[in-house]
Amino acid sequence: MPFLLLQILVFGAYTLALVFLAGEAFNWKEDRRLFYVGGNRLTLVPMVGTFVATWMSAASVLGYTMWLYADGYVAFTGSVNGWLIGLLFMPFIVRKLRASRALSLPQWLGDTFGDRRLRSLSAVSLIGAYTFYMVIQFRAFGTIVATLLDIKVIVASALVYLFVLYTTFGGLPSVARSDTLNLALILGGVLLAAGNLLKRAGSLAAVHAAIAERAPAMLHPWSEGWSPLVTTLMMLSWGLGVAANPQYAVRLLSARTTRDAYGTLAYSSLIIGAIYAGLTVLGLSAFVLFPGVRAASDELAFTRLFSLALPPLPALALFLAVLAAAVSTANSQLLLAACSLCYDLSPREGRNRGDLVTEDRFLFKNRLAIAGIATAALALSQFRLPGVLLIGRYSWTVVAICFFLPLYVIRTPRPRALFVPLSAALLLHLFLTVFLGILPELALLPALALEGLLYFWPRRKGP
Amino acid sequence: MRSSRPLSIETRIKVILTAIAMALTALTVGTALTQGFFERAGEARLLLETARSAASGLPADHVEPLLKRLKPFWKEAPRAQGAETVRSADGQEWRFVLDRAAIWNALVYRQRYVLVAGLIGLLVAVELAVFLAYSLTRPMKILAWGCEQMRSGRWVRLPTLSRTPYELEALNEAFNGMVDDLKRWQEFQKQAARVERLAALGSVAAAVAHEVKNPLASMRIHLDLLRGRLPEKEKDCLEILGAELDRLNQTVSQLLSYARPRPPLFGPVDVRDLLSWTASMTSTPCRLAAVNLSWAVEEGCPPIWGDGPQLKQVMLNLVLNAVAAQPNGGSVRLEAQRSGQNVALRVEDAGPGIPAELLERIFDPFFTTRPDGTGLGLSIVHRIVEGHGGRIDVESTGQKTVFSVTLPTAPPGKKES
Ligand SMILES: Nc1ncnc2c1ncn2[C@@H]1O[C@H](COP(=O)(O)OP(=O)(O)OP(=O)(O)O)[C@@H](O)[C@H]1O
Ligand SMILES: [Mg+2]
C-alpha cells in the first residue's frame, strides 16, 4: 500500500476514534459546572489522561527534542527542568483551590479577593495567552502534516482545527475523554520511536559514548554561552509559569475527590517523566545516528529528521503523537479561553445554573465562542507574523503574574488589596519587555517581586 | 462505563453522516484511483510497444537510452515470469514487468488533496451532525424538563424556542395546551367543590332557618301579648327584646331566601320607581351615619324586565353595604342608565374600599368583615342578578367602591328583535 495512503488512513482512524470515543458533544444533562469542570466528578484515569495530555504540547514535544538534538542536555536544564519544578509546586494548591467552588481560575481570583477587576484582568490575559498558544499548536502540527503529505499548510492546519473544535464542543468531559486517547497515542508513539532508535544506536551508554567523542559539550547540563545565573532564572520562571498555569489548576478543581487530585499529580509526574525520557533518547540518538539535519523551522527539521531516522511505521506513530499532543493541549486552552470570555467577562453570569433555557443558551454561546476563538487562532497561524511567538510568550508571563502570588504565596487574602500591586507588576513587566527589550520570561521575576513587595509592605507597617 | 444505555440521537446521526462521508470519499477516490491505474497501465503498454518495435531495428547500445524512458512504469526483471521482452536488432534481450507500486504511489500522490479533503469533509460532517442532533434534542430536553416539573407539582409553560422545526414546535404547543387545560380543569374542580360545599351548607342553613322561623313567630306574638300586661318601666326591655327578635327573624328570612330562592316573577320594573323607593327606604340609616345619598336616572331609560321585590332587595343590600362602609359620614350615589339592550345600575360610595384579596370572596355566603353582619347580603344579590340573566361587577379603590348591576330590559326570547 502506498505510504501516503497509509498515513491518511491513520489520520482517518484517529478521526473516527476521536469522534466515537470522545462521545457526546451536547450532554443531555449539561450545565455550566459540567461543561467547565466536569461537574467536579472526574475520576483518576481521565484526570491523569487530561493532565498529562494537556501538559505535553506539540510545541514542547518538538521544541525540546530539537533543542536537545542541537545542543544536548542543556535543553533539559533550560526547559523541562523548569517545567518539572512547576509540577512540584502544584500539590500545595490542591486544598486551597478545592475549598472554593469556583468554575474558573479568574473567578477563584475574583472571589478570593472580592474584586471583580482581578477577575476581568486575568480573564483577558488568559484569552490572549491561550489564543496565541493555539496559534503555535496549529502551526506546529500544520507544518508537520503539510510536509508529510506535501500539501498546503492551511489545509493541514484546518485538519487540526477541526479536531480541536470537535473535542472542545463537549466541554471538559469530552476534552478529558479525548485526552485519555491522546495520551495513549503520545506515550505509545514516543516510546515506540525512542525504542526503535535506541535499538539501532545500541544503548544509551553507546549514545553517550558517541556524543562524548563527537560533541562533548552536549553532555554538559549548563550552556557555555549562558551564565548559570541566567539559566537558573530561566528555569525558575518557566517553573513559576507552569505552576501558575490555570490549565493545570483547573484540572485540580475538576477531580472528584482531593485524593484523586493528589493521585493525578503523582501518576502524572511518572508518565510525564517517561515521555520526557523517551524524547531525550530520541533527540540524542537521532543526533548520533543522523547528525546535521537542518531546516528553516523546528517543525520542518523535526519532520525531516525523523522521516529519515525512523522506519515508516514508528515515524508515523511519532507524528501521530505530535498530532495528539497538539489537539489535547489546544482543546483545553480553547475551553479555558471560551470560559474566560463567556463566563468571567460577563458580569451577569452566576456560578449556579440558571433555568434550563438560559443555561442552554449560555452553553450555546460558549460553543460559538469556542468556534470563534479557534477560527481566529487558525487565521493568525496562517500569517507569518514575526511577533506572534513573542506575544504568546508575553501573554503567558502575564498569566503567571496574575496567578502565581495568589495561588502560592498569599495565605490569608485581604479583600481588594491585590489589584494595585498586580497592576503595578504588569506595568513593570510591560516596561521591562517593551522598552528595555528584556525577555518576557526574565522580566517575570522582577515583576513578581514588585507585586509581592507592594502587597505585603503595608501590612508590616500597619498595626 | 454505560454500555447498557442505548445510543443517543447524536451518536446515531454521527454514525450515519460518518458512514456517508466515508462512503462518498471511498467511492470517489476509489474510482479515480482505479480509473487512473488502468489509464496509466494502458499508456505504459503503449510505450512498451513503441519501444519494442523501435528496438527491433536498433543495435543494443542504442536501445539502452530508449529503455530509460520506460522507467517510471516498468522495472527490469530479468528472471520474472510473464515479463515483457524487448529485443534489439543484434539479439540482446531485456525483460520488464509493470511497476504497479510506482503507479499506485504516483496516483495516490496526485489524489492526496482529494483524500485530505475527504478527511476534512468527514470532520465537518461530524460537527454538523453534532449540531443537527442538538437542534433535535434541545426541544425534547426542554419537554422532558417540563414533564419533570409538572410531576413535582410546579406548573410550567415551555418557552417558545427560536429556530426549531415546526414539528417540534407543535410538540411544544401541545404540551403547553395540555398544561393550560389541566390548569383550567383544576380550577374548575376547585370551583365545583366550593359550589358543592356551599350548597350543602345552604341546605343545612335552610333547615335550621325553617325550624327557627316558627318558634320566632310565636315568640313575637307572645311578646306583643306581654306588652299590655307589664308595667310602664319594664317596657324598655320589651322594646329591646322585640328589636332583637326582628333582627333574628330578618337573618333567618335572608338565609331562607338565599338557600331556597323563590323564582323571580318577571315584569317591567320602572327604574325611577326602583331608585326612589331605595332612597326613601334607606333614608334613616343614611341620616344616622351622616351619609349623603343622591340618585339620578338617565333620560329615557327603559324599564327593566325583572321581579320588582327582588330588585328592590338588590338595591337595598347594595346601599346598606355602602352606608355601612362609611360609618363616619360620606356619600352614596345611585345612577341608572341604558347600555345597549340593558340597564346599568350603579351604586357608588366614598368608603375605604374592599382590599383586593377579599374581592373574590365578598359574594360568598357568610363572608363578612363586620361584627354584626351575616355575610348573606351580597350572596343574595349575586343569586338574584344571575336569576335575572344579568351580571354584577365591583370596582374598588382605596377611595371608592362601585357596584354595577347590568340587567336586561326584555325577556331573553325577545332580545333579538
Ligand atoms: N360598599 C362596600 N364598601 C366596602 N366593603 C364592602 C362594601 N360592600 C360590601 N363590602 C364588604 O363585603 C362584605 C360582604 O358583604 P355582604 O353584604 O355580603 O355582608 P355584610 O354586609 O357583611 O352582612 P349583611 O349584609 O348580611 O348584613 C362586607 O362585610 C364588607 O366587608
Ligand atoms: Mg350587607
Task: Give the three-state DSSP class for B344.
Answer: strand
Tell me, yes or no, whether A456 lies in a domain. no
Look at residue A460 in the predicted model and tell me its pLDDT.
52
CB contact under 8 A, A166 and B112: no
Mean pLDDT comparison of A160-174, A446-460, B89-103, B208-222, highest-scoring range: A160-174
Alpha carbons A4 and B240: distance in angstroms, whole number: 118
Q: How far apart are CA A412 and CA A391, in angstroms?
A: 33
Q: Give the C-alpha separation, A52 to A57, whole Å.
A: 9
Task: Report the residue of A14, A24, A35 to disrupt the B interface, i.e. the one with the largest count of B CBs within 10 Å.
Answer: A24
Per-residue pLDDT tens digits for B110-161: 888 888 888 898 888 888 888 888 888 888 888 888 898 889 888 888 887 7
CB contact under 8 A, B11 and A24: yes
Whether residue B270 has pLDDT greater than 90: yes
Q: Which of B306, B287, B311 is nearest to B410 (CA)?
A: B306
At the fourth CATH level, which superfamily is domain B267-408?
Histidine kinase-like ATPase, C-terminal domain (3.30.565.10)
Contact A4 B101 (CB under 8 A): no
Instruction: Tell me the chain A residues in contact with residue B141 when contact means C-beta distances shorter than 8 Å.
Output: 28, 356, 360
Chain B residues close to A16, C-beta within 8 Å: 18
**What average pLDDT does the segment A158-182 reach?**
91
pLDDT given for residue A378 in this prediction: 92
Please give the torsion angle defined by the CA atoms of residues A108, A113, A116 and A122, in that order, rounded to the nearest 10 degrees. -60
* Distance from the B105 Cα atom to the nearest Cα atom in chain A, whole angstroms: 5
Question: CA-CA distances (angstroms) from residue B233 to A164, B226, B227, B238?
Answer: 108, 13, 11, 10
Place of cell 451577569: A348
Contacts of B138 in chain A (CB under 8 A): 26, 360
Query: Is A163 within 8 Å of B123 when comparing Cβ atoms?
Result: yes
Domain B157-260: which CATH number of 1.10.287, 1.10.1740, 3.40.91, 1.20.58:
1.10.287
- For a mutational test of ligand 1's pocket, the pick from B326, B362, B379, B405, i.e. the residue with the most ligand atoms closer than 8 A to its C-beta, is B362
A20 in contact with chain B, both atoms CB, cutoff 8 A: yes
Is residue A429, in this structure, part of any structural domain at all? no
Do the Cβ atoms of A166 and B127 come within 8 Å? yes
- Alpha-carbon distance values, B38 to B32, B65, B115 (Å): 10, 26, 20
Question: Nearest-CA distance from B247 to chain A in Å?
Answer: 59
Q: What is the pLDDT of residue A279?
A: 95
Mutation test residue for ligand 1: of B370, B397, B404, the one with most atoms within 8 Å of CB: B370
Residue A407 lies inside a defined structural domain of this protein: no
pLDDT at B17 > cutoff 80: yes
Say which CATH number the domain at A309 has. 1.20.1730.10
Q: A1: distance to nearest CA of chain B, Å?
A: 8
A24 touches chain B (CB under 8 A): yes
Supply the range of the domain harboring residue A231: 2-395
pLDDT at res. B415: 45
* Dihedral Cα A186, A189, A193, A194, nearest 10 deg: 40
Dihedral of the alpha carbons of A427, A432, A438, A441, in degrees to the nearest 10: -30
Per-residue pLDDT band at B333 (split at 50, 70, 90): very high
* A10 Cβ under 8 Å from any chain B Cβ: no
Residue written as cell 462521508?
B21
Q: What are the chain B neighbours of A20 within 8 Å (beta carbons)?
A: 11, 14
Task: Determine the longest span between alpha carbons in chain B, in angstroms.
Answer: 175
The alpha carbon dihedral of A287, A290, A296, A302 has a sign of negative
Radius of gyration from C-alpha coordinates of chain A: 22
- CA-CA-CA-CA torsion for B367, B370, B376, B382, nearest 10 degrees? -70
- Residue A452 burial (CB count, 10 A): 16
- Whether A441 maps to a domain, the answer reads no
Q: Is residue A455 part of a domain?
A: no
Pocket of ligand 1 (CB under 6 A): B 317, 321-322, 324-325, 349, 351, 354, 362, 367-370, 373-379, 401
- Which residues, in sequence order, are CB contacts of A234 under 8 Å at separation 6+? A78, A82, A226, A441, A442
Domains of chain B, residue spans:
9-139, 157-260, 267-408
Distance set, CA A132 to CA A337, A381, A392, B238 (Å): 11, 9, 5, 104
A291 backbone dihedrals φ, ψ, rounded to 5°: -75, 160
* Residue B397 cell numbers, joined: 379603590
pLDDT in tens, A287-296: 999 888 888 8
Decide if A150 and B112 are in contact by the 8 Å CB cutoff: yes
Structure confidence at residue B403 (pLDDT): 96
Q: What's the total number of domains in chain A? A: 1
Q: What mean pLDDT comes out for the span A4-16? A: 89
Mean pLDDT of all residues in B46-63: 86
